[in-house]
Amino acid sequence: MEAAPDLSAVSALTLQVDLLQLPPEIPAPGAPALRGVLDRLFTHWLSLPDTVALVGCLAQKAKTSGGLAGCGMLPSMMMQGGANVPPLSPRSPRLARRPSGVGGGHSHRSASPLRPSTARAAKEIIPQFYFRDGRPPPYEQKRQCISGVEQLFTGHSNGLRIQEFRMVTRELCKIPSFFTTVLFAQIDKDNTGFVTREAFMDFWVNSNMMNMDTETQVFTILKQHDHDYLTKEDFKPLLRDLLDNHPGLEFLKSTPEFQERYAETVVYRIFYCLSRIGSGLLTLRELKRGNLLDALRHADDEEDINKVLRYFSYEHFYVIYCKFWELDTDHDFFIDKENLIKYGNHALTYRIVDRIFSEVPRKFTSKVAGKMCYEDFVHFILSEEDKSSVPSQDYWFKCIDLDGNNILTHNELQYFFEEQLHRMECMAQEPVLFEDILCQLVDMIGPEDDTFFTIKDYRRCKLSGHFFNVLFNLNKFMAFESRDPFLIRQMREEPSLTDWDRFARREYIRLAMEEDGEDASNASGDVWDESLESPF
Task: Give the pLDDT confidence of 310-347 residue by residue, as tens digits.
Answer: 999 999 999 999 999 999 999 999 999 999 999 999 99
For CA atoms 220, 226, 230, 232, give the dihedral sign: negative
- 85: helix, strand or coil: coil
In this prediction, residue 10 carries a pLDDT of: 43
Instruction: Decide: 230 and 222 in contact? Cβ < 8 Å.
Output: yes
| Residue % of the chain over a pLDDT of 70 | 78
Instruction: Decide: 252 and 258 in contact? Cβ < 8 Å.
Output: yes
Tell me which H or E stretch contains 452: strand 452-453
- pLDDT tens digit string along 82-94? 444 455 445 545 4
CA 246/CA 252 separation, integer angstroms: 11
Confidence of residue 355 (pLDDT cuts 50, 70, 90): very high
| Exposure of 450 in the CB half-sphere (CA atoms within 13 A) | 5
pLDDT higher than 90, residue 67: no
pLDDT higher than 50, residue 486: yes
In this prediction, residue 428 carries a pLDDT of: 81
In this prediction, residue 378 carries a pLDDT of: 97
Instruction: Decide: 314 and 249 in contact? Cβ < 8 Å.
Output: yes
CA dihedral 306, 308, 309, 311 (to 10 degrees): -100
pLDDT higher than 80, residue 172: yes
Residue 59 one-letter amino acid: A
CA 135/CA 307 separation, integer angstroms: 38
Q: Residues 210-236: what's their mean pLDDT?
A: 92
In this prediction, residue 69 carries a pLDDT of: 47
CA 246/CA 302 separation, integer angstroms: 9
CA 322/CA 511 separation, integer angstroms: 8
Higher pLDDT, 344 or 6: 344
Confidence of residue 186 (pLDDT cuts 50, 70, 90): very high
| Residue % of the chain over a pLDDT of 90 | 53
Confidence of residue 533 (pLDDT cuts 50, 70, 90): very low
Cα of 266 vs its chain's centroid, Å: 24
CA 359/CA 362 separation, integer angstroms: 5
- pLDDT tens digit string along 405-454? 999 999 999 999 999 999 988 888 887 889 999 999 999 999 999 999 99
Q: Give the distance between the most distant pair of CA atoms in the chain.
A: 155
What are the CB-based long-range contacts (under 8 Å, 24+) for 184-189?
A: 185/237, 186/221
Evaluate if pTM is beyond 0.85: no
CA 91/CA 134 separation, integer angstroms: 51
CA 299/CA 293 separation, integer angstroms: 10
> What would you report as the CA-atom Rg of the chain, rounded to the nearest whole angstrom?
44
pLDDT higher than 70, residue 31: no
In this prediction, residue 63 carries a pLDDT of: 78
The pLDDT mean for the chain works out to 82
- pLDDT tens digit string along 129-143? 877 666 777 778 788
